[in-house]
Structure 1
Amino acid sequence: MATLEMTRPAAELSGSPTPAGTSAHFDLPQLLDRCLGNMRLVDKLISGFRRSLATNVPTLRGLADAGDMPGVALLAHRLKGEAANVAAPDVRHWAARIEDFATREWSDEVTDAIGHLEQISCDLQQGAAGA
């Protein structure tokens, strides 16, 4: 399926929790297992997640730029849950860090961590466009 095309190795991301050798931002075997082997459902979930990131990551940046740390924490928490549901460990990792940093009102750390999410989102959008 087009959206299952591998993007950038997750291990290349600084601080990524994904072990070396994992070749995508998704744990595809885990997601496929959760979907009971239904590749169409996997494709649909990944496509929806890409759309969510394309909308929510810029919103997250805007909230951070405006200094709205409670808003950042809330949106990061939501993204963390979405990422967990679609077995996207890199996004889940960075969303959890952003949520923690925003709760502590560490704006510089929030800004840096959002940069990682922006890169992942860009990778995923390019993967979808190149499919």
Structure 2
Amino acid sequence: MHEETRPIATTLALTMTRGMSLAAWRRAGLLAREWALYEQLAQLGALGRIVLFTYGDPPEEATLARELAPQPLVAALDASASPHEQRRQAAELARTSLAGHERVVVKTNQFEGGDVAVAVAQAARDAGARAAL
């Protein structure tokens, strides 16, 4: 870790834009560029584990995640579900994937899907974490 850098959180919960996935980033040629920020933060020691809330096919997303550094834990939401159902799914996945984490920063890539980020932050708090959005 860089001597002046301290982890900002034990976990970064990243919510993708509604309907977006790692596979879509790859097809568009954006995966390396989009992931570079998280790779750099990890190299600096500025964050711990990453939980990625995505709208892609779970097996395909897990395969793509294994190619990334740092490797995120994938929490796949049903892209065909209503926004209300996606928020419910995200909260349920967050309660299990973020349980036991002390400090969680929730980040969304764009405003579209930000409601999912709010649900994730609240679920992290409900699970006992200090969470910031």
TM-score by length of 1: 0.34
Whose strand fraction is larger, Structure 1's or Structure 2's?
2
